[in-house]
Amino acid sequence: MSKTYHYDDYLEMSDALPFEQADRISCMLLDNANTGDEDFAELWEDFMKVAVRYANVRGNWKLFPRGQRKHTDDERTACHDAVLSHLNGITRYMEMQGWDTKWRDELGRDERLHRKRLGDFACFMAYVYSVIAR
C-alpha cells in the first residue's frame, strides 16, 4: 500500500505555496491583466493547458512504482519546463503592456530557486479550473 499524504505534509516542505497565498497571487495576476486582451487570453489558455497536463503528470507521480517513475521522468520534466516557459511569457507580456507584475515577485522570479513553487502554482491553477468545471 502506498503512503497517504496530507496538505500539512506539503506545508512543511521548503518553498511551499499555501492555498491562501496561491489564491492571492492568482487574483493579483488576473486582476492586473486585461483578460479581454486577445494576446493575453491566448497566453493564459496555453498556460492553463500545460498547467492541467503538468498537474496530471505530477499527481500520478506518487502513485507510480519507482520503476515507472523512471520512465515518466522526462515527460514530467518537459511538462514542468513548459509551465515555466508559459509563466515567463505571461510575465513578459504583462510587463510589455505596463501591467503590474508584483504577483510574480511574490510567486518567485528565479526559476532555479523557485522551480518547485512555480510548478505548485500551475497545480493550484489546474485545481481551480478542475473544481469550477463540475
> CA nearest 119: which of 50, 73, 60?
50
Whether the per-residue pLDDT at 87 is higher than 80: the answer is: yes
Residue 49 lies in a domain: yes
Q: Which residues contact 40 (CB under 8 A, 6 or more apart)?
A: 33, 34, 90, 93, 94, 97
Whether the per-residue pLDDT at 53 is higher than 50: the answer is: yes
Mean pLDDT value across residues 107-123 = 95
Q: What is the pLDDT of residue 1?
A: 46
Q: What is the pLDDT of residue 23?
A: 98
Residue 21 lies in a domain: no
Query: What are all long-range contacts of 15-20, with beta carbons under 8 Å and residues at least 24 apart?
Result: 15/108, 15/113, 15/114, 15/116, 15/117, 16/117, 16/120, 17/107, 17/117, 17/120, 17/121, 17/124, 19/124
List, for residues 8-36, the tens digit of each pLDDT value.
Answer: 999 999 999 999 999 999 999 999 999 99
Residue 93 lies in a domain: yes
The single-letter code of the amino acid at 84 is L
Residue 90 lies in a domain: yes
Q: Is 15 left (phi over 0), alpha (psi -120 to 50) or beta?
A: left
Q: Tell me what the pLDDT averaged over the chain comes to.
A: 94
Domain limits for position 62: 36-132
Residue 30 lies in a domain: no
Q: Using an 8 Å Cβ cutoff, are 22 and 108 in contact?
A: no
Q: Which three cell numbers stand for residue 61?
A: 507521480
List, for residues 61-82, the tens digit of each pLDDT value.
Answer: 888 877 787 778 889 999 999 9
Residue 11 lies in a domain: no
Domain count of the fold of the chain? 1
Residue 65 lies in a domain: yes
Residue 104 lies in a domain: yes
